[in-house]
């Protein structure tokens, strides 16, 4: 019996148009329904402006150049928070994987730390640290800590034991085993944790700006909400969604490139 040929990588590009077309089609349908509902008068424009009105306002905001100035602070806060969270979560995840005692001692507290919502942590950080960049970065780090830690532990615990045992028979241990065997094999899971963590970090930056001040999109959203500028609020939310989707897509692309090496 002839072996079944493995699926060729050449077939993957043919899936790309469908991966792009499906969300675009769904988004288009959603926009059409939104436009029809908004134009029908069933919902007052104060509560639900039409997509075309939001698009016009977004164009005005971009033309003045003021809106993009709010993107960079939020992105910097999210990046720093994700970096700090990863610096703590990655080695701690390896410790939980390697040591049964550490796993038994730390896992209940790590899980309990996720029961506290970010909105509740923000006022505490404001009291403890103050306002500005530092407390927002700490809040982002707390949000991304658990997903990155969980992805690290999961990626290491699902390694092929035969490969690890073979490496140990060849003399690999300690740092060499981690560098040449465990880390490369667990890399897809680690990258997934970092990708999801960065997306959460954007949310943390916005929540932090609501409570602790700042100069990013969160402050813009809060300001426009206070002034009942619904159309402007939707315009800022669109930019925020595009930012999160762009970060997610770029990290996803980096993950795929690294996996192909």
Q: How far apart are CA 95 and CA 193, in angstroms?
A: 17
Q: Is 240 helix (H, G, I), strand (E, B) or coil?
A: helix
- pLDDT score recorded for residue 175: 67
Chain segment 211-223, per-residue pLDDT in tens? 887 788 888 888 8
Biggest CA-to-CA distance, the chain: 73
Residue 34 covered by a domain: no
- pLDDT score recorded for residue 219: 85
Residue 55 covered by a domain: no
CB 163, CB 185: distance < 8 Å: yes
Task: Please give the residue range of the domain that contains residue 104.
Answer: 68-260
Residue 59 covered by a domain: no
Q: Which whole number is the average pLDDT over 176-201? A: 78
Whether 125 has a pLDDT exceeding 70, the answer reads yes
pLDDT cut 90: percent of the chain above it: 3
Higher pLDDT, 180 or 63: 63
Confidence of residue 168 (pLDDT cuts 50, 70, 90): low
Residue 20 covered by a domain: no
CB 151, CB 192: distance < 8 Å: yes
CB 135, CB 126: distance < 8 Å: yes
Residue 163 covered by a domain: yes
Residue 168 sits in a domain of what CATH number? 1.10.3720.10
Q: Which whole number is the average pLDDT over 197-222? A: 84
- pLDDT score recorded for residue 84: 93
Q: Which whole number is the average pLDDT over 147-176? A: 74
Chain segment 13-62, per-residue pLDDT in tens? 555 566 667 778 888 888 888 888 888 878 787 888 888 888 988 888 88
Domain count for the chain, please give it: 1
Higher pLDDT, 138 or 247: 138
Residue 80 covered by a domain: yes
- pLDDT score recorded for residue 14: 53
Residue 151 covered by a domain: yes
Residue 57 covered by a domain: no
- pLDDT score recorded for residue 19: 66
């Amino acid at each position: 019996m002839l072996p079944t040929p493995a699926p060729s990588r050449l077939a993957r590009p043919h899936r790309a148009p469908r991966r792009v077309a499906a969300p675009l089609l769904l988004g288009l349908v959603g926009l059409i329904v939104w436009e029809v509902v908004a134009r029908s008068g069933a919902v007052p424009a104060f509560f639900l402006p039409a997509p075309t009105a939001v698009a016009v306002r977004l164009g005005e905001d971009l033309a003045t150049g003021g809106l993009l100035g709010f993107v960079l602070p939020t992105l910097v806060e999210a990046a720093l928070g994700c970096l700090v969270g990863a610096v703590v979560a990655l080695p701690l995840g390896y410790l939980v994987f390697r040591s049964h005692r550490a796993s038994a001692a730390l896992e209940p507290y790590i899980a309990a730390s996720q029961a506290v919502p970010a909105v509740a942590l923000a006022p505490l950080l404001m009291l403890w640290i103050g306002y500005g960049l530092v407390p927002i970065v700490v809040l982002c780090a707390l949000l991304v800590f658990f997903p990155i830690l969980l992805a690290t532990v999961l990626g290491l615990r699902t390694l092929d034991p035969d490969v690890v045992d073979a490496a140990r028979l060849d003399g690999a241990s300690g740092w060499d085993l981690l560098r040449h065997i465990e880390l490369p094999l667990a890399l897809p899971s680690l990258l997934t944790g970092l990708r999801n963590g960065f997306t959460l970090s954007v949310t943390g930056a916005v929540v932090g700006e609501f409570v602790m001040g700042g100069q990013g999109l969160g402050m813009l959203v809060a300001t426009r909400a206070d002034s009942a500028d619904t159309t402007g609020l939707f315009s800022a939310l669109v930019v925020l969604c595009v930012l999160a989707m762009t970060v997610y897509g770029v990290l996803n692309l980096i993950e795929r490139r690294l996996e192909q090496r």
